[in-house]
Amino acid sequence: MASFLQSLVDPRKNWFARQHMKAVSQRLRHYGLRYDDLYDPYYDLDIKEALNRLPREIVDARNQRLKRAMDLSMKHEYLPEHLQAQQTPFRSYLQEMLALVSTIMLLLCTSFLGISVCVRIVNYEAPIYQPYLSIYPKHRSMPESVFFFKQT
């Protein structure tokens, strides 16, 4: 069952996933963004910690891309075609550090605290950096949601 579900979202095997990936890539190229730029550090503390652990040059480049995207969005313009061709929207700079930070946080919660459940606070009311798509529900009345991780 898991392999079937993986094949549904794998762009190499599924035509619809490939088309979706092309559409997302095109939208990111229009604004000069990378996919990792869409992660919001105010939404998840792991992302904030991963950004703090990255080299300053990478974080500065991320901030410049976000500022440029907001400027282009406010002007209702896109990046020039010759610059869009140079963009690499799926070149990741955050995923490895995010996986490391998530593993460290999970180990800290389960081993040092000595409890079977670790609480992670996620803020749903934080702003997002996606210029064309809002994925968070607007009807939430409470600003924070609690997720539980069971000890393995």
Taking residue 107's Cβ as centre, other Cβ atoms within 10 Å add up to 11
What are the tens digits of pLDDT across the range 50-89? 999 999 999 999 999 999 999 999 999 999 999 999 999 9
User: What is the structure's pLDDT at 104?
Assistant: 84
**Candidate from 24-28, 40-44, 110-114 with smallest mean pLDDT:** 110-114
Strand, coil or helix: what is 146?
strand
User: What is the structure's pLDDT at 111?
Assistant: 56
What are the tens digits of pLDDT across the range 114-152? 555 555 544 444 444 444 333 444 444 333 443 444 444
Taking residue 108's Cβ as centre, other Cβ atoms within 10 Å add up to 11
Strands (E), 22-140: 117-123
- Structure tokens given for 92: 């990741």
Query: Can you say whether the dihedral through the CA atoms of 108, 148, 6, 137 is positive or negative?
Result: negative
Give all domains of the chain, ordered by start, each with its CATH number.
Answer: 2-150 (1.10.1090.10)
What residues have CB less than 8 Å from 146, skipping those under 6 apart?
A: 119, 120, 121
Alpha-helical (H) ranges within 54-94 are 56-74, 81-84
Distance CA 9, CA 47 (A): 23
